[in-house]
Amino acid sequence: MSTRSHRAAEGGPLRHGFGRKHTILILAGALTAAMLGWQGWHIYHSYQAVAHKESGKCATKLVEEVYFAATLHGNQLEDLEHGISAAAPTVLPGGVLDWSERFAKSGADLEDRVNSACDEIGGTLLLAVRRVDTASSAIGSHADSLVASLVAGDLDAAQTLLVGPAYGSDRAEYTAAVDSLVSETRRHLEVQLGVERRSELTSVSVAFGIFALALGAWALFLRRIRSDQLLLAAEERQRREAEADLLRAQKLDAMGTMAGEIAHDFNNLITAIWGSATAARDHLPAGHPALVPIRRIEQASEQANDVVSGLLAFGRRTPARLDPVELGTMVWETGSLLHSMMPDSIELVIEGAPGDCRWVMADRTQLQQVLINVVLNARDAMAEGGRLIVRTRCAATEDEESPRVCLEVIDTGHGMTADVQGRIFEPFFSTRHESGRGTGLGLAIAHGIVASHEGAIHVDSTPGSGTRFVVELPAIEPPDVVDLRADQAPQMVRAGGATILLTEDHRHVREIMAESLEGAGYEVVQAESGDELLDTVAAGSQRFDLLIVDLDIPGPNGLDCLQQLRSQGVRTPAVLVTGTGAPGLEEQVGSGTRVLRKPFPMLQLLEAVAEATRKAPTGHERV
């Protein structure tokens, strides 16, 4: 073999081995580049998917907006149905025309949400949204007819339309359409989650195959697997939290009713205890040793009255009713309820005094809710105890023509980071989901109420150094006339001679009321139900100068009984007693009837009876 041939024979395998290594290197590089390219494309696709979810064009968000708009529209219709069914459409906040305007506005908002959703979604979600739109148009026509009948004063026609098959069918269809929107959204989310999971599985499979051929992509593949796992876990956690938030929001609708029922039961008990203590005190001579503990019972009853009244005011869902409110007085009146919410480890300090002339035009109940929500947030931030300060002050402002007053709540809790402060007023945002506490709505509701009063709420906090909430509201001049009756000592009422028909189903309350009235010189006839009241009046065996009727009695309730008697021509003055919130009751009873809310001392009952019999017109009809 020649030298050239020998060299060629030797160089062939070397070149072949080098070429194979080079090929493997090129293949490894190509596979590594492919791995990086694949992962880069997948990350970009993921970011695009997340960005799409967070944008206003996400199908789930668009359908969610349609659902909330449809729910508000349906709740407004329920208000009208309740007013018509109760034969008292005047209880609608602002009246029928104002309701009609709000209903039209919510309907227009619903239509806008539907149009926005229809432009971006498809499939069964689109059909569900269009079904809501069709059902909304149908009930809108019925609502127009109902409002027209009410405006014309034809309540019977409105009630007939309300119970008619056409309305019932369309109303049921609307409810079913809204429910189907929820179910279709959940089904859509399940399908979307399945697609995302399959996409993730495909990505992992391809990445693993490339990783098996290119060891250099191992680290990137593992990081991607880890990232995907964290992403899936975060999405699953967010889904569970969203479902829990929705459930909590639905439960909030029942809070007002629960508060009213609890207050009703407690009001009867407090009235009986309070009245019995007063009766016992009146039967004892001056200086008797039992007078001191009896007075403590009366004082405890007054404090219990404040607590129950605060509970009822917090749970009542009423439209804003703006009246002059002295901020310091409002804080002190809410103080007893705030103290009852504090554990022994927290010192609650209310600075200042009522009557500091820091007046605002506001809804007292809603301001109380703002104060309670902020105080509860501060309480939860002091799990280990601390000091909580509530005070009012005038705000420092350069604009003398726009004075403002401030309500401050300062705690010594663990404080908040800047990120938490930036989201503290977002609905459903809470740092206490894991502990099973907090709905994430308290501060959002407070922010909305303050904004509706043309005010502002600020938070200043540092981790480990406590938190300060400041509510700023526009100040007004003090009203010219201030009711000072609360500071005047009432005088004992002793004015008998009249005959009273007392209707109360709670035995202890009825007995103490009858005993107090008889002790003041009145003749009392007792009844336990609406039917017994109507039968006693119809019998005509006795003539009555006054009717005292509890609202919540068996049979026809107290208001129905009085309205039935008035329709029969009976003009005997009456006192309607209630232990529930019953907003707007004073407007329903009309002239000749006074509303007395439980719990009350027996002296207040005697004053109401004396005033009612004194104001009765001369020669008024007795029954």
The residue assigned the tokens 């502990």 is 435
Question: What pLDDT score does 574 carry?
Answer: 92
Residue type at position 278: T
Three-state DSSP at 574 gives strand
Q: Return d(Cα 51, Cα 48) in angstroms, integer.
A: 5
Which stretches does DSSP call E strand in 369-494?
386-394, 404-411, 456-461, 467-474
By the 8 A CB rule, do 337 and 372 touch?
yes
Angle at 408 between CA 406 and CA 414, to 5 degrees: 150
**Which of 391, 351, 385, 398 has the alpha carbon at shortest distance from 371?**
391
Question: What pLDDT score does 411 carry?
Answer: 93
CATH hierarchy code of domain 492-615: 3.40.50.2300
Burial of 537 (0-12, 13-18, 19+ CB in 10 A): buried
Q: What are phi and psi of 219, to 5 degrees?
A: -60, -45
Which stretches does DSSP call E strand in 497-558?
499-503, 523-527, 546-550
The residue assigned the tokens 């009609």 is 100
Q: How many CB atoms lie within 10 A of CB 495?
A: 15
Q: Return d(Cα 613, Cα 319) in angstroms, integer.
A: 34
Residue ranges of the domains in the chain? 59-252, 321-474, 492-615
Burial of 424 (0-12, 13-18, 19+ CB in 10 A): buried
Question: What pLDDT score does 224 carry?
Answer: 59
CATH hierarchy code of domain 321-474: 3.30.565.10
Q: Return d(Cα 311, Cα 175) in angstroms, integer.
A: 32
Question: What pLDDT score does 319 carry?
Answer: 46
> Which residues are 574's β-sheet partners?
547, 593
- Using omega within 30 degrees of 0 as the cis cutoff, is the peptide bond preceding 599 cis? yes
Q: What is the secondary structure of 249-261 as a DSSP string? A: HHHHTTHHHHHHH
Question: What pLDDT score does 549 carry?
Answer: 94
Question: What pLDDT score does 486 carry?
Answer: 37
**Which of 181, 175, 66, 74 has the alpha carbon at shortest distance from 128?**
181
Q: Rounded to an integer, what is the distance from CA 344 to the centroid of its chain?
A: 28
Q: Which residues of the chain have pLDDT under 50?
A: 1-19, 21, 313-314, 316-319, 433-436, 482-494, 617-622
Note the helical H segments in 347-417: 364-380
Angle at 419 between CA 413 and CA 423, to 5 degrees: 90
Question: What pLDDT score does 3 carry?
Answer: 44
Full-prediction pTM beyond 0.75? no
**Residues whose CB is less than 8 angstroms from the CB of residue 611 and which lie 6 or more positions away in sequence, other chains included:** 594
For 275-304, give one letter per residue: b (16+ CB within 10 A) or e. bbbbbbeeeeeeeeeeeeebeebbeebeeb
The residue assigned the tokens 């709670």 is 506
Q: What is the secondary structure of 237-250 as a DSSP string? A: HHHHHHHHHHHHHH
The residue assigned the tokens 């970009």 is 44
As its CATH architecture, domain 59-252 has Up-down Bundle (1.20)
By the 8 A CB rule, do 606 and 491 touch?
no
Q: What is the DSSP letter of 318?
A: -
**Which of 584, 513, 515, 527 has the alpha carbon at shortest distance from 558?**
527
